[in-house]
Amino acid sequence: MPSIVIPMANDTREDITIFDETTREQFRLVFPGAPLSDMESQECLAAIARVTPRPAFIIASGSLPAGVSHDFYGRVAQALKTGSKVIVDTSGPFLKAALEAGVYLIKPNLREFQELVGITSTDEATLVEAGRRLLDRYRIEAIALSMGLDGALLVTRDRALRANGLPVEAVSVSGAGDSFLAAMVWSLVNGNSLEIALRYGIAGALPRCSIPGQSFAAPRTSTALHPR
């Protein structure tokens, strides 16, 4: 995978997942990263702006280290106002700032979405209504709400699509949301609609839940879920 390497003074953070084979429990140890200087964060933005040709999609994903302003992902979107659609997968103040800047799509999980819109309900109609309020308020086109083994919900201004969960035995949920979004974007890059992309998202995420460790679902593990 081609990479753009940006040197920094400190080490990046550690994120460790432990799976107990006896109890089948999973423990995640997510340590805070070292602070990023203003010069380092500015170089990140500059490196993104220099990418040519412009990619069809930019995914801004995860939390951000100390020292980075809350509007960092929003500034990513502003730097790529032409030529790329920005998708944001984050939470809290970073997500809110990205909404205010305007992005193509956001992918919160259920907890992150509930915190964003200030509700506790899991009722589908309530979630759709809350999503539509976000779409009316901000310059975004779609919300892909991942709901774990319960599937996912895709909300646009004129459609609400529900992808139900499938009966898989959850061994590890680490990376399931990332797999969901990666498969969705792969589908969009290949010219599919958001509806088809949602199906690919589920096909990528749920097999991931049945694979131990940090491995990801390959096409052969997703055959039964492959959308037609």
The set of residues, in sequence order, having a beta carbon less than 8 Å from that of 146 and lying 6+ positions away, is 107, 108, 109, 110, 152, 176, 177, 180, 181, 201, 205
- Cα distance between residue 21 and residue 19, in whole Å: 6
**CA torsion angle 61 85 188 89 (round to 10):** 20
pLDDT at position 222 is: 44
Looking at residue 179, what is its pLDDT?
A: 85
Q: What is the pLDDT of residue 218?
A: 58
Q: What is the pTM of this model?
A: 0.83
Determine the pLDDT at residue 172: 60
pLDDT one-digit tens code per residue, 13-39: 888 888 788 887 878 888 888 898 999
Residue 134: pLDDT above 90? yes
Q: Is the pLDDT of residue 226 over 70?
A: no
- The verdict on whether omega for the bond into residue 53 sits within 30 degrees of 0, i.e. cis, is yes
Q: Which of 18-27, 41-50, 137-146, 215-224 has the lowest mean pLDDT?
A: 215-224
pLDDT at 227: 38
Q: Which residues are catalytic?
A: 178
